[in-house]
Amino acid sequence: MAKKAKSKEKVCVVGLGFIGLPLAVSLANSGAEVVGYDLRREIVDRVNKGQSHVFEPGLEETLRKVLKNGNFRATQLASEMQKYKFVIITVGTPTDSNGYPILDQVESAAKTIGENLRKGQVVILKSTVPPLTTEEFVAPLLEKASGLKLGADFGIAFVPERTIEGQAMRELKTLTKVIGASDQKTAKEVEKLFKSLGGTIVKVSSPRIAELIKLMDNTYRDTNIALANEFAKAANVLGLDVIEAIQAANKDYERNKILIPGAGVGGSCLTKDPLILAHVSEKAGESLPLIRVARKVNNEMPEKIFNLVRSVLKRNKREIRNSKIAILGLTFKRDTNDLRETPAKVIYDLLNREGAQIVLYDRFAFPEDVEKLFKTKKVENLEEACKNADCLVIATDHSEFRELKLKRIKELMRTPCIIDGRHMINPNFALDLGFDFEGIGRPKEYFERK
Ligand SMILES: NC(=O)C1=CN([C@@H]2O[C@H](COP(=O)(O)OP(=O)(O)OC[C@H]3O[C@@H](n4cnc5c(N)ncnc54)[C@H](O)[C@@H]3O)[C@@H](O)[C@H]2O)C=CC1
Ligand SMILES: CC(=O)N[C@@H]1[C@@H](OP(=O)(O)OP(=O)(O)OC[C@H]2O[C@@H](n3ccc(=O)[nH]c3=O)[C@H](O)[C@@H]2O)O[C@H](C(=O)O)[C@@H](O)[C@@H]1O
């Protein structure tokens, strides 16, 4: 007897940004029939041509594959979502000046989905939101726009997106997925869909618990980075090397997972999600001072870099004003093109205000994005950035900075000073070559004494 062909899961992903596009393409690659819906025509057109506007290793080649085998395409036509069992919302949730999320994109997406909702469909929210949003904001919008009833006619779930930028395609297949659904039947259906990607499934009792987990994930990371930054501040003032201490402290001692101090915490999520948790808790009557202080500690790190530039230049009889300073690495983290909330911009502004002549270098950031954010062009070549410079500031941990040709760079510079904000350089090596050097939690005096 011929084997019955396995029916394909049918999924519509609403919002083809940093999260939506890798997810849509990965689901299509695991065998689902996927349509990606976005309001932005330029994105839909680009994606349908096999070009990704998101830099994620493996994404563009997988996109081309799933376009070719017919499992994926992008659309601007909302009515198409009627034909898909699952509708996943991956629109943006930026925050206002108090750190409270602006849910306009979620609202407009929910209304559009509601207008097209059919019996039996399941709507899954993946955007990061305050607890209760899926049940008390999205579900009522869906019911109102559709005239259907949650539970009887359609299901909802919250499944946090936990992938890290730069590793999304790999992590989508391996990470544990948390599922909080409105009822058991929906939970089972959503479990089957996400199981097709790979990784363990953890089902929790409600969407609101899954929403809390996402905020806890990012708050935990941000707070732990702040702790590492405080360790660096302590090491600095005590004249000790924090990196040697952290590496040794973590080694074969499972209870320690000390993170890496650095020039600051950027990106669109760690900078906002802890504030969402603090805000909703405060509104409900409980303040969360540790979380707010951790944010403050991390926000102050770019200023630490600025102060190091000032003191190293002073040691070399220079002032920031009229010094040529090259910022190496502009994106918020290693090997991505994402400039959102990047600490490099804060460092740039502080130096610029003091009258420095600043040169920008980053091989990943798109030139037009750099110009828009920094109001100045980046140079395309590392040597050009270093030429006649008085100080190099490593603001991002791009892999290439681990292999800087320091000998050659020293010949190019006017005053050979380096501020290593991301622990890319061996301080002993730099000092031996005749550089003046400071790092975050790596005071020069410690290496000179050795
Ligand atoms: N960027 C990241 O690495 C991570 C982001 N998140 C969360 O995922 C969510 C999405 O973030 P990103 O992908 O970075 O945002 P993004 O801004 O890159 O993408 C959002 C996309 O949604 C589209 N959009 C907005 N309103 C729409 C509507 N009504 N209908 C259809 N499309 C619409 C936009 O045109 C855009 O392409 C946010 O809540 C974020 O906090 C969670 C984990 C990681
Ligand atoms: C809890 C957690 O691990 N959250 C992840 C985080 O990913 P994201 O892409 O923002 O990258 P990240 O590696 O946390 O880096 C964020 C920022 O923090 C800095 N950073 C990171 C780790 C560290 O030890 N020290 C440090 O200073 C980075 O330089 C960067 O500026 O936030 C993502 C998100 O929600 O956007 C989330 O999906 C990811 O799983």
Measured in whole angstroms, how far is the alpha carbon of residue 244 from the centre of its chain?
A: 27
Q: What percent of the chain has pLDDT over 70?
A: 98
- 157 within ligand 2 shell (Cβ under 6 A): no
For residues 27-51, average pLDDT: 98
Domains, the chain, ordered by start: 10-205 (3.40.50.720), 207-449 (3.40.50.720)
Q: What are phi and psi of 291, to 5 degrees?
A: -65, -40
Model pLDDT for residues 205-230, shown as the tens digit of each residue:
999 999 999 999 999 999 999 999 99
pLDDT > 70? residue 4: no
Residue 146: its pLDDT value, please? Answer: 98
Quote the ligand 2 centre to 138 CA distance (angstroms). 27
Residue 117: its pLDDT value, please? Answer: 98
Residue 7: its pLDDT value, please? Answer: 78
pLDDT > 80? residue 449: no
- 127 within ligand 1 shell (Cβ under 6 A): yes
Q: How far apart are CA 279 and CA 269, in angstroms?
A: 15
Measured in whole angstroms, how far is the alpha carbon of residue 421 from the centre of its chain?
A: 19
Average pLDDT, the chain: 96
Quote the ligand 1 centre to 106 CA distance (angstroms). 9
Quote the ligand 2 centre to 332 CA distance (angstroms). 9
Model pLDDT for residues 362-410, shown as the tens digit of each residue:
999 999 999 999 999 999 999 999 999 999 999 999 999 999 999 999 9
Residue 99: its pLDDT value, please? Answer: 77
Cβ atoms < 10 Å from Cβ of 251: 8
pLDDT band at 431, cuts 50/70/90?
very high
pLDDT > 80? residue 450: no
pLDDT > 90? residue 33: yes
218 alpha carbon, closest ligand = 2
Q: How far apart are CA 255 and CA 15, in angstroms?
A: 39
Q: Which residues pair with 86 in a beta bridge?
A: 11, 122
For residues 37-55, average pLDDT: 96
- 216 within ligand 2 shell (Cβ under 6 A): no
Model pLDDT for residues 58-82, shown as the tens digit of each residue:
999 999 999 999 999 999 999 999 9
Model pLDDT for residues 87-114, shown as the tens digit of each residue:
999 999 998 887 788 999 999 999 999 9
Model pLDDT for residues 287-302, shown as the tens digit of each residue:
999 999 999 999 999 9
Residue in 141, 228, 223, 38 with CA at minimum distance from that of residue 236: 228
> Which residue's CA is the closest to the ligand 2 atom numbered 34?
269
Cβ atoms < 10 Å from Cβ of 240: 17
pLDDT band at 2, cuts 50/70/90?
low
Residue 277: its pLDDT value, please? Answer: 96
Supply 231's token pair: 């360790």
Q: Which residues are catalytic?
A: 214, 269
For residues 417-427, average pLDDT: 97
Quote the ligand 1 centre to 308 CA distance (angstroms). 36
Residue 97: its pLDDT value, please? Answer: 80
Torsion of CA 127, 128, 132, 134, to 10 degrees: 10
Q: What percent of the chain has pLDDT over 90?
A: 95
Furthest-apart CA pair in the chain: how many Å?
86
Q: How far apart are CA 28 and CA 26, in angstroms?
A: 5
pLDDT band at 3, cuts 50/70/90?
low
Model pLDDT for residues 133-146, shown as the tens digit of each residue:
999 999 999 999 99
The DSSP H or E segment spanning 203 is: strand 201-204
Is-contact 178 204, C-beta < 8 A? yes
- 217 within ligand 2 shell (Cβ under 6 A): yes
